[in-house]
Amino acid sequence: MSDSEGLQRQLGLFPATAMVIGGMIAVGIFLVPAGMAKSLGSPLLVLIVWVVMAAMALSGSLCYGELAARFPNAGGGYVYLREAFGPLPAFLYGWMSMTAMDPGITATLATGMASYLNHIVPLGDVGMKIAGIGAVLALAVVNIVGVRLGAWLIVVLTVFKIGVLAVIALMGVGLGLGDWANLTPFTERRLYPDAPPLFDALAGGLVGAFFAFAGWWDLSKLAGEVKEPAKTLPRALMLAVGLVTLTYVVTSMVFMYLVPIDMVMDDETFAAQAGAVLFGRSGGVIFSVIVILSVIGSIAGLLMAAPRVYYAMARDRVFFNFAAVIHPRFGTPARAIAIQAGLACVLVALGTFETILNYFIFIAVLFVALTVVGLFFIRRHHPNVPPYRTPGYPVTPVLFLLLVTVLLALLMGHSPTQALMGVGVVAVGIPVYYLLFRKP
């Protein structure tokens, strides 16, 4: 079975859900809780940040579910913006995906993975960059070889990472390896050395939590390869966001139960300390292996989903034609995958974890918000009733947009230079569109 674009519909509910979970649960859950706990200084505030970001991800995924049901084709946000606002905003979304968001997230994960590999085998700065680039290239090859191979690799690694986090929680609490006093006082904010003001702490916490949740929108890019997409996509999005939220809240509380916040030196030390409590002297190595395998699954998911945007743009003749070529043997958009992998490798070579993250996150949030705004326009111009409609409309998209507005304000206040860099890169896409791709 195939769609009108030539891609084969091969993904059912289980691999689709696993792809969302696998894309979301990556290095973020191992890095974010420590920074959140130390800057916010209150387990209650940590919990609130997770719940707020979960509400944002869930309300956004419910909206994306309807958009995917209406337009079950490869491309995700590019297709939805094209239908809502026309070719230029859609092109700019694709341009942003290609130049900022997709290679940025991929490079950030690869850089984080390499830093954990450095805990096992000292690599040095150059060695870590080589390791990150090597991981991206190897997983790009896996995704070029076939959708089924890449999807089942993601399924296996997703089951692994969920299982590992469950074991950490059960071992830590069941064996009494921590101290519940680490979570008290639960509501009062404790100001640790170098703790930022509350506004900055909330900004940093929400940025970190968004990064940990990032990727829930990527499944819609694979709509052209999902079986019964009108039913499968909304179910997979809602199921995945719910499971990830539960996982993040439980894992954060268990980490704080295992390691007192005032004993944490930095984010990576926090993960190593938790591993040492659970597994003894070799805990740091074991934990590093867990993180590496988790991140591999996430990179694989990104390299599968994201290139479908460039593929869809090329099919619409608003991108270079070679990106629309399907590999004659493997049936995958091999050249589109190579584009994302190549740009991600460049960012790995030139940037650091923090600089890459701050570069793409503001503009990525902005376009995700614009896509949800498009739902209002699409409902007006496409009155047909799709097989799935957003529950609680219009409250659901309004709630999402309110939360996004707060997040955008915090992001701009927290890292204005990097945010404006991302906006500037997208703005370059305007003359590119008019000079090369605008139809007469």
- Please give the chain's pLDDT, 440 residues, in tens: 344 445 566 667 777 777 777 667 766 677 677 778 778 878 888 888 888 888 888 898 889 888 888 887 767 788 899 999 998 999 998 888 888 778 888 888 888 888 888 878 888 888 989 999 999 999 888 878 766 666 677 777 777 777 877 887 888 888 788 888 888 777 778 776 677 788 778 877 887 788 788 777 766 666 666 777 777 777 887 888 888 888 888 888 888 888 777 776 655 556 667 777 887 777 778 777 888 887 887 787 778 777 777 777 887 888 777 777 777 777 777 888 888 889 889 888 887 766 666 677 788 889 999 999 999 999 988 878 777 788 888 999 999 999 899 888 887 877 788 778 888 888 999 999 988 877 65
The CATH class for the domain spanning 13-437 reads mainly alpha
CB-based contacts of 46, cutoff 8 Å, min separation 6: 33, 36, 37, 40, 205, 252, 256
* Burial (CB count within 10 angstroms: exposed 0-12, middle 13-18, buried 19+), residue 424: exposed
Exposure string (b/e) for 259-271, b if CB count within 10 Å is 16 or more? bebeebeebbebb
By CB atoms closer than 10 A (0-12, 13-18, 19+), residue 235 is middle
Task: Give residue 171's identity as a one-letter amino acid code.
Answer: M
Residue 403's Cβ-side half-sphere holds a number of Cα atoms within 13 Å equal to 24
Q: Which helix (H) or strand (E) holds 160?
A: helix 147-174
Instruction: Count Cβ atoms within 10 A of the Cβ of residue 75 and give its class: 0-12 exposed, 13-18 middle, 19 or more buried.
Output: buried
* DSSP H helices in 41-101: 43-70, 77-85, 87-96
pTM: predicted TM-score of the whole model, two decimal places: 0.76
27 touches 291 (CB < 8 A):
yes
Contact predicate 340/306, CB 8 Å: yes
- Spans of all domains in the chain: 13-437
